[in-house]
Chains A and B, each alone.
Chain A
Amino acid sequence: MSRDIEIESGGPVVIAVLSGELDLASTPAVSAKVLDAVTVDTAGLVVDLSGVRYIDSSGVHMLFDFARRLEAGRQGMAIALGATSPIRGLLEITHISQAVAVCSTREDAMSSAAEGAQRSY
């Protein structure tokens, strides 16, 4: 659902602020929007899940997809997520945290994503 995503693509790092619930119904649109915003010039991607209340396997799959694509483009990616969010557990269970940095603040995530991109080069 379009409302569930806000994209900030002014700088080298694209920030996708997601909110609401990420499930089978909403992820395709979110995924498309985020991938639209990411170009070859994009240094990195921050996916802010702080406002997300729920995420299911299709959402997790979407995050893995982002990570794979960005890695292929030698771009960095980080996830911003509140320290107390229940989603943290889920990200650990699904081992996404091993592939993508999960930061507590957007700023951390931004620098992490930029770093990641530099590291790739």
Chain B
Amino acid sequence: MSVAQQSQSWLRRALPQGQRLPYDAWQSRHRAIVALLCAHAVAVPVIAVSRGLSASHAALESLILPVMTIAALAPSLNRRARTAAASLGLLSASGILVHLFDGLIEMHFHFFVMVGVVALYQDWVPFLTAIAYVLLHHGIVGVLDADSVYNHPDGQDHPWKWAAIHAGFIGAMSVGCLVTWRFNENTLADRDLAETRLREESQITDTLHRIGQALAEDLETQRVVQTVTDAATDAVAAEFGAFFYNAVSEAGDSYALYALSGAPMDAFEQFGLPRNTPVFGPTFEGEAPLRLDDVTKDPRFGQMAPHFGMPAGHLPVCSYLAVPVFARNGDVLGGLFFGHHRAAQFTAAHERIVVGVAAQASIAFDNARLYEAERHARTSAESAGARLAVLAEASKILNSSLEVESVLRDLTRVVVPAIADYCVLDLDAGDGSIDRIAAAATPERREWSTRIAADGAQSARSDPLAFVRTAIPEANFHATVELDPPTSAIAVPVIGREGTLGTLWLAAGARSRRRLTDADAPFAEELGRRVAVAVGNAQSFARQRSLAETLQHSLLPDRLPHIPGIEAAARYVAGGPGVEVGGDWYDVIQLPGGRIGLAIGDVVGKGEKAAALMGHLRSALRAYGTDGRSPAEVMERLNELLLNTGPDQMATTVYAVLDPESGLLTIANAGHPPPLLASPDGTATYLDDTRGMPIGALPGAHYVESTVTISPGSVLVMYTDGLVEDRTKSIDVGLERLRSAVAAGATDLDELCAAVLAQALSGRETHDDTAVLAVRLQLLTPELDLRIPANPNMLGPLRTTMRRWLADRGASDGESFELLVAAGELFTNAIRHGKGSPAEFDVHADVRDGVMISVRNLGGWRERLGEVGGRGLGMVGEYTDRVEIVRGESETEVRMYRRLAADAAS
């Protein structure tokens, strides 16, 4: 560096910076100085007059003072001109005073005082004005009138020499002032600097605080990175900023762009991954922050092929700032990079902000990484939890019902999509083929079941994935497979006690991106085990159930006995899916004397045992009833029987005896829901006068009978509790529902039974087994038509019916007897010689010519009526008015006529 340069720089440092006073500071100082000038403008003329000058001369001499005062106050002039005017005014006052005192040397002191005053302006102008004024004034006036300037001879002889000396003093004084001023200025500058620094510092702190807060609230790495990048980009006023993650690959130079701020992500996407250039790379090695006013002028820039600098289309970067981000363990996580297309945009303060942000970011990143690690751990735990939940749910479903297929279908729906995207359950059908019991698939959770060849599934067990891809025959499933191709699969055998029952397949589809791995095998195996247990249970239940069902059906009446004059219908519905067979039964028994025994009962308990007990009770009741025991007696006997059969065996029963002739119904009820009697007039009432203990409950229990006379056409409905009991509703609701159903019931009893069952059981998932029995005492019209099976047991009830009919027609007891004897011969003949399968005969009765009773049957007519050599025919002839025999092609009709005494009387 040259001497000139050195002194120049010394001068630059030594001299004041010339920073002008703030305007208000200048103004107050200027005001004081102008006031001083005003005082001189007044005082100087006064002094002039006192020195003996005329007023006019004095005014002229000091004219410059008011002129300068006015100039110093003139608002049109700028600050510097006014400064100069005020300074010139005060120096002029000094000059005038020197004149007035004839160059008195002490008057020259006034100059120095004034220089001191104008130094307040802290400006070059007053100093230069003062030096120039003293030099010119002393020089020029000293030449023209030396006495008025100098009062010593040398001055008077050499006015310019002394003018220079005086100006020199003024200059020295100015320098003194300047030095003082410079010191002041330095002090002020230091303070300003401190203030600025403080302000900056607080700004940085503030920024960092804000970023820190934002980061502390966020544990998502991507968002943390974005927050950091955004905040830093904002804080350093960069055009754009980016965070690159130090994901050094095996190739050595790949940095993943993680976040970008100030520019859309696609501004960089086209460039691929940034590379380890001499400018870019060092940041990732953890080197000190790199701040460049113009990156393109950096010697390291543009050294690397192929782009030699930034690739074409890159956002323009001139100002460049890069700061590494460290992890807590010292590893470089990545770097924050900022750019601006103008040069020198980033300051040291910016750098410090970014360094601070980077420090905070590293904490946040660490937190986020920890959090993610923990969350990952939690997700694994959750997924383990989800599996447990699925297993629990699966067990619940598997135990919910014993209907295998529906249960397994439900199961596949639980597994899909919680665990897998495909779930297929195949069970060996036992005949070399496979029942695809259930299958489900996402996304539509399709379900299907089908039957496939066994070898296809067998060979597929070795390659489950290929199996799921190809071996599913249904077209819609193919569509699903194409939509979401399975990418991984697990197959586990379903092994029961008696060997392999089938296969459970799980597969993951491409869409869900999940993978089924060996880690999923234990889950699949556990699921398979549970399925095996459920299938085993269901199979053994199905065996048991079918046994019990067979037993029950074999014990229930095959069909109700055909009893002339009585209509009867019954239905038995086994319990819903998964409900064990119960012990419901009903019976219609022909009793001596044409009476009818009606029974219904329900053995407490389920399964084979209940069904067997039911059979036992039914036989016993039938025996007691047939023996002619009254309902109460029958109940008491059944009670003792049950108590003697074994402990804890109970049943509820209603047993009623109907005498069709009188319509008298005698009922005993052992804890059973009351029978319902529907009259032809549409009213229906429950016969619940008496209800005793269930049979088998109490030794020596007595039962009370109630009686009711029912009119022909009435329907008696007996049922088991399955018909009226719904777990979700009160039994009263069921009873009322049944009552209205029966009251509005169909005329056909089979239809009536079907209707009340349908109404009671519809919409119920499960129900107990249910029996219903409906019996009607037939209303006998004057024209009676009966079709009677060719069975001797039909004779009793048929006579009873005919007896009713004859009584209705007004026949006396004697007439009735004789007609029944005569008709009985016809009936017996038809039974003995009737043909057809089943053999049956039609009885017709009407009131033509008194009463006419005809019997028509397939086959020929035996002329010799009856067995005993015409004894039967004789009886018919004896008791009737006439007999007609009408022979058809294949059938014969015998008609007998008789006038009644009542007809003759009327």
- Residues on A lying within 8 angstroms of B by beta carbon are 1-4, 20-21, 23-25, 53-58, 60-61, 64, 86-87, 89-90, 93-94
Q: Chain B residues near A24: list those with CB within 8 A.
A: 792, 795, 828, 831-832
Tell me if A3 and B867 are in contact (CB < 8 A). Answer: no
**Interface footprint category on B:** 20 to 34
Q: Chain A residues near B526: list those with CB within 8 A.
A: none
Tell me if B592 and A20 are in contact (CB < 8 A). Answer: yes
- Residues on B lying within 8 angstroms of A by beta carbon are 592-594, 626-628, 792-793, 795-796, 799, 813-814, 817-818, 820-821, 824-825, 828, 831-832, 866-868, 871-872, 874-875, 878
CB distance from A51 to the nearest CB of B (A): 11
Cβ-defined partner of B628 (8 Å) among A3, A58, A94: A3
CB distance from B349 to the nearest CB of A (A): 123
What 7 A-B pairs come out closest when comparing CB atoms? A25-B792, A57-B872, A86-B817, A24-B792, A57-B866, A56-B824, A61-B868
Cβ-defined partner of A1 (8 Å) among B626, B817, B867, B875: B626
Apart from A3-B626, A58-B828, A90-B821, 6 more pairs, CB < 8 Å: A20-B593, A23-B792, A23-B828, A54-B799, A57-B828, A94-B875
Q: Chain B residues near A87: list those with CB within 8 A.
A: 817
Tell me if A25 and B875 are in contact (CB < 8 A). Answer: no
Tell me if B820 and A54 are in contact (CB < 8 A). Answer: yes
CA distance A54 to B817 in the complex (A): 7
Q: Chain B residues near A23: list those with CB within 8 A.
A: 792, 795-796, 799, 824, 828
CA distance A3 to B824 in the complex (A): 22
CB distance from A94 to the nearest CB of B (A): 5
Tell me if B796 and A57 are in contact (CB < 8 A). Answer: no
CB distance from B855 to the nearest CB of A (A): 14
CB distance from A115 to the nearest CB of B (A): 27
13 A–B contacts, CB within 8 A, in A order: A3-B628, A4-B592, A20-B592, A20-B593, A23-B799, A54-B817, A54-B821, A55-B821, A57-B867, A57-B872, A60-B875, A86-B817, A93-B878
CB distance from A42 to the nearest CB of B (A): 25
Tell me if B817 and A57 are in contact (CB < 8 A). Answer: no
Given contacts A54-B799, A57-B825, A57-B868, contact A21 B593 (CB under 8 A): yes
Main secondary structure of the interface of B (DSSP, over half): helix
Given contacts A21-B799, A54-B817, contact A3 B592 (CB under 8 A): yes
Q: Chain A residues near B628: list those with CB within 8 A.
A: 3
Tell me if B821 and A56 are in contact (CB < 8 A). Answer: yes
Across the two chains, which residue of chain A brings its CB closest to B867? Answer: A61
CB distance from A14 to the nearest CB of B (A): 22
Given contacts A3-B627, A24-B831, contact A56 B825 (CB under 8 A): yes
Tell me if A93 and B824 are in contact (CB < 8 A). Answer: no
Across the two chains, which residue of chain A brings its CB closest to B814? Answer: A86
Across the two chains, which residue of chain B brings its CB closest to A20? Answer: B592
CB distance from B815 to the nearest CB of A (A): 9
Q: Chain B residues near A1: list those with CB within 8 A.
A: 592, 626
CB distance from B869 to the nearest CB of A (A): 10
Given contacts A57-B875, A93-B878, contact A64 B868 (CB under 8 A): yes
Across the two chains, which residue of chain A brings its CB closest to B628? Answer: A3
Across the two chains, which residue of chain B brings its CB closest to A96? Answer: B871
CA distance A39 to B165 in the complex (A): 192
Tell me if B818 and A89 are in contact (CB < 8 A). Answer: yes
CB distance from B204 to the nearest CB of A (A): 117
CA distance A23 to B824 in the complex (A): 8
CA distance A64 to B868 in the complex (A): 9
Tell me if A86 and B592 are in contact (CB < 8 A). Answer: no
CB distance from A32 to the nearest CB of B (A): 15
CA distance A93 to B626 in the complex (A): 33
CB distance from A57 to the nearest CB of B (A): 4
Q: Chain A residues near B792: list those with CB within 8 A.
A: 23-25
Across the two chains, which residue of chain B brings its CB closest to A28? Answer: B792
Q: Chain B residues near A55: list those with CB within 8 A.
A: 821
Q: Chain A residues near B832: list those with CB within 8 A.
A: 24
Q: Chain A residues near B796: list those with CB within 8 A.
A: 21, 23, 25
Tell me if A93 and B875 are in contact (CB < 8 A). Answer: yes
CB distance from A40 to the nearest CB of B (A): 27
Across the two chains, which residue of chain B brings its CB closest to A95? Answer: B871
Q: Quick one: which of B627, B795, B832 has the most chain A CB within 10 A?
A: B795
Across the two chains, which residue of chain B brings its CB closest to A23? Answer: B795
Q: Chain B residues near A56: list those with CB within 8 A.
A: 795, 821, 824-825, 828, 872
Q: Chain B residues near A86: list those with CB within 8 A.
A: 813-814, 817-818
Tell me if B592 and A61 are in contact (CB < 8 A). Answer: no
Across the two chains, which residue of chain A brings its CB closest to B823? Answer: A56
Tell me if B627 and A25 are in contact (CB < 8 A). Answer: no
Across the two chains, which residue of chain A brings its CB closest to B872? Answer: A57
Across the two chains, which residue of chain A brings its CB closest to B825? Answer: A57
CA distance A61 to B871 in the complex (A): 9
Q: Chain B residues near A89: list those with CB within 8 A.
A: 818
CA distance A63 to B290 in the complex (A): 138
CA distance A64 to B592 in the complex (A): 24
CB distance from B27 to the nearest CB of A (A): 145
Tell me if A54 and B813 are in contact (CB < 8 A). Answer: no
Tell me if A25 and B793 are in contact (CB < 8 A). Answer: yes
Q: Chain A residues near B799: list those with CB within 8 A.
A: 21, 23, 54
Q: Quick one: which of B627, B821, B868, B871 has the most chain A CB within 10 A?
A: B821
Tell me if B592 and A90 are in contact (CB < 8 A). Answer: no
Q: Chain A residues near B878: list those with CB within 8 A.
A: 93
Q: Chain A residues near B831: list those with CB within 8 A.
A: 24
Q: Chain A residues near B824: list those with CB within 8 A.
A: 23, 54, 56-57
Cβ-defined partner of B874 (8 Å) among A20, A58, A64, A94: A94
Q: Quick one: which of A1, A23, A55, A94 has the most chain B CB within 10 A?
A: A23
CB distance from B865 to the nearest CB of A (A): 8
Q: Chain B residues near A57: list those with CB within 8 A.
A: 824-825, 828, 866-868, 871-872, 875
CB distance from B86 to the nearest CB of A (A): 156
Q: Chain A residues near B627: list those with CB within 8 A.
A: 2-3
Tell me if B817 and A60 are in contact (CB < 8 A). Answer: no
CB distance from B593 to the nearest CB of A (A): 6
Cβ-defined partner of B871 (8 Å) among A4, A20, A54, A94: A94
CB distance from B801 to the nearest CB of A (A): 14
Q: Chain A residues near B813: list those with CB within 8 A.
A: 86
Q: Chain B residues near A53: list those with CB within 8 A.
A: 593
CA distance A16 to B814 in the complex (A): 25
Q: Chain A residues near B818: list those with CB within 8 A.
A: 86, 89
Given contacts A1-B626, A24-B828, A86-B814, contact A60 B871 (CB under 8 A): yes
CA distance A12 to B514 in the complex (A): 102
CB distance from A99 to the nearest CB of B (A): 12
Across the two chains, which residue of chain A brings its CB closest to B866? Answer: A57
Across the two chains, which residue of chain B brings its CB closest to A56? Answer: B824
Tell me if B817 and A58 are in contact (CB < 8 A). Answer: no
Q: Chain A residues near B825: list those with CB within 8 A.
A: 56-57
CA distance A82 to B627 in the complex (A): 25
CB distance from B65 to the nearest CB of A (A): 166
CB distance from B857 to the nearest CB of A (A): 15
Q: Chain B residues near A90: list those with CB within 8 A.
A: 821, 875
CA distance A21 to B591 in the complex (A): 12
CB distance from B592 to the nearest CB of A (A): 5
CB distance from A97 to the nearest CB of B (A): 13
CB distance from B660 to the nearest CB of A (A): 14
Q: Chain A residues near B871: list those with CB within 8 A.
A: 57, 60-61, 94
CA distance A2 to B629 in the complex (A): 13
Q: Quick one: which of B627, B792, B831 has the most chain A CB within 10 A?
A: B792
Q: Chain B residues near A20: list those with CB within 8 A.
A: 592-593
Q: Chain A residues near B866: list those with CB within 8 A.
A: 57
Q: Chain B residues near A2: list those with CB within 8 A.
A: 627
CB distance from A68 to the nearest CB of B (A): 12
CA distance A60 to B866 in the complex (A): 11
CA distance A20 to B594 in the complex (A): 9
CA distance A91 to B814 in the complex (A): 14
CB distance from B295 to the nearest CB of A (A): 123
Q: Chain A residues near B795: list those with CB within 8 A.
A: 23-25, 56
Q: Chain A residues near B817: list those with CB within 8 A.
A: 54, 86-87
